[in-house]
Amino acid sequence: MYLTLFGGLFVGLGLAMAWYGARPLVVLPRLLRTEVRRPDAVTDGGDGEFVAVRGTARASAETLRSPFTGTECLGFEFEVTERQPFGIGVPWFHAHLDDGIATAPFSLDDPNHPSVPDDPSVPDDPGVLDDAAGGLAVRPSSRRFSLDTVPTVVRVGAGETPPDRVRRFVDVREGLDPVAGRIAAIPFLGARRYVERRIDPGEEYLVAGRIERDGRGENGTTGIALSGDLVITERSIRGFVLSRLRRAAFPLLVAVVFVVAGLWGIAIGA
């Protein structure tokens, strides 16, 4: 009876981990079937059509400050993990403590199209969109999007004093407390990773999502936008797919082990 009970628990945990590992892979088949376009090549796209566009990110409104480095950006996501005895993460035994995102509307320019005239008297500001550039508006969801950029990681040991910006973040973030004394007292535990990924103005990105036609055409944009749960990456489509598959491999492998062990326990206990 106990073997059956524990077997069912293992199967349930395995299915939960399989869902966690497989969920980021859902978008991959659509991406692999999509041809990458320039920002000015999606004007004939239908409302709701899934497209992939490569261009240079430009600020079209406000900019943001990233939480741990204070870098000016167009959007970011962050994650905080802590080394704990029973955490399961990357690296091993890092438990998830907190995460979040923030976004601002921005525009994508053709990377081969200068955003400012070739006039030496005009300063080249990579964060400002020139009205003549005809950029494509991008409006990521304020709740969820997939940001695949090189992360900036601030590592803080259990007995170390965090940088001022990280300390202020921990002080004001609800539900995120300093390292617990019982964890910090154990050697090699309590170390934290403060990870941020950003959308930096002036950098080139591949943005995939659905077209939304609004006709506004603000700040030199074409009157259509990419909006919603977008994929934003510095990689090619192939590189993004391989990255997602590598990240999903470990939780899916653990899920298979749990499900097999659970089914074995159920069979033995039956």
Rounded distance between C-alpha atoms, residue 76 and residue 58, angstroms: 15
Sequence spans of domains, the chain: 1-33+245-270, 34-234
Rounded distance between C-alpha atoms, residue 198 and residue 266, angstroms: 46
Phi, psi of 8 (to 5 degrees): -65, -40
pLDDT for 57 equals 95
pLDDT for 127 equals 40
- Residue by residue, DSSP assigns 155-197 as EE-TTSPPPHHHHHHHHHSTT-PPPPHHHHTSTT---EEEEEE
Positions of the chain with pLDDT under 70: 1, 86-92, 113-134, 214-222, 270
Own/partner long-range contacts of 181-186 (Cβ < 8 Å, ≥24 apart): 183/82, 183/84, 183/158, 184/158, 184/159, 186/85
pLDDT for 87 equals 54
pLDDT for 130 equals 40
Question: How far apart, in Å, are the Cα atoms of 187 and each of 85, 155, 178?
Answer: 11, 16, 17
Cis omega (within 30 of 0) for bond into 91: yes
